[in-house]
Chain A
Amino acid sequence: MPHDHHDHSHDTDGLSPSGHPYRPDQDHKLTRWQAMEIAMRELLVEKGIVTAAEITETVEQMDRRSPADGAKVVARAWVDPSFKARLLENGTEAIRELGIEPGVLKLIAVENTARTHNVVVCTLCSCYPRNLLGLPPDWYKQRAYRSRVVKTPRKVLAEFGLELPESTQVRVHDSTADMRYLVVPARPEGTEGLDEAALAELVSRDAMIGVATARHP
């Protein structure tokens, strides 16, 4: 047969183009909270507080942001030692060089090496470098990750499939409302011949949060 759907066929329509499920309420009966969003949006537009075009543009900007932006920063740091030095010194200013607007928040880049592994959390809420990575994954905002990664980071990283040697020091960075962290993963061995664009392909969102390493080519 042309397609082997197994028992997933009934789920296929419920998946987005990126392969993740839509929220179950997407096509279902209007919820109270959705009604609230619609009402607020209409009142704000009618009162001239925001325009419909601004809302559309903000949503589109959200859709345009992805971990590919952060990966570009990491790849540049790998190939350009002076950029890496500037990034680690002042992340906010350094990302402007790549045309990424840092916004009002301070960006702190931390580098993973054989000796030190950095991982990022926001224990109080869900602060996340959206301008570099897009919107955060669900697990980043959930209690389990926020509570546990600061106490038993090695165990949590192991649950993400990342086993670190005892000789590697683990540093957990807790974000605040005024600043954001970006992890610069270590450049994998055997990537000397790759150009910047190919290197960026090796850098996943999870590697820039610090729950994974960069992929090997």
Chain B
Amino acid sequence: METDKIHRWHDMGGQPAGEIKREEHDFALWEKRVDALQVLTSGKGYFTVDGLRRVLEDMGEEAFETMSYYERWVQSVNQNLLEAGVYTIAELAERMEQVQARGETYGECAGSGE
């Protein structure tokens, strides 16, 4: 039988799938910070959980298969904040460049963020 095309890719209940991989990892600091930015900015009304999910779902199946959970989340939170007018793409690009110029590792580049 052909894959059910009525469902969008993220609606995966009942679809064929492989073995459940039981390994787990503790979340890295940057992942927890992405989570915190989502909790705080959506809590302050800049976007909703539906906005978060819209961007995640529009990223498509390939992103789901190839990127980690918080890699997808950081993009979705960013897209929602851009749409809310919190900062511009130019501001983000400039800051990312500065961040990347600070060093090699996350620890070096995260600077005195605290």
Contacts and interface: CB of A to CB of B under 8 A. Distances in A.
Contacts, number: 191
A56 B111 CA distance: 15
Contacts of B21: 138-139, 142, 144
A42 B95 contact: yes
A55 B36 CA distance: 6
B20 A159 contact: yes
Contacts of B35: 58-59, 62, 135
Contacts of B70: 33
Contact of A26 (B16, B28, B87, B99): B28
Interface string A20-44: 1111011111111111111111111
Nearest to A15: B26
Contacts of A135: 27, 35
Interface string B1-42: 000000000111111111111111111111111111101110
A58 B39 contact: yes
A30 B109 contact: yes
A138 B25 contact: yes
Given A30-B103, A33-B71, 12 more contacts: A25-B106, A38-B106, A38-B110, A50-B40, A55-B33, A58-B35, A62-B32, A139-B22, A145-B20, A146-B12, A147-B13, A174-B13
8 contacts: A21-B25, A44-B81, A44-B86, A139-B24, A147-B15, A150-B14, A159-B20, A174-B13
Q: Which 7 A-B pairs have the closest CB atoms?
A: A123-B13, A147-B17, A58-B36, A39-B95, A16-B26, A144-B20, A150-B13
Interface of B: 10-37, 39-41, 44, 46, 49-50, 53, 56, 64, 68-71, 74-75, 77-78, 81, 86-87, 91-92, 95-96, 98-100, 103-111, 113-114
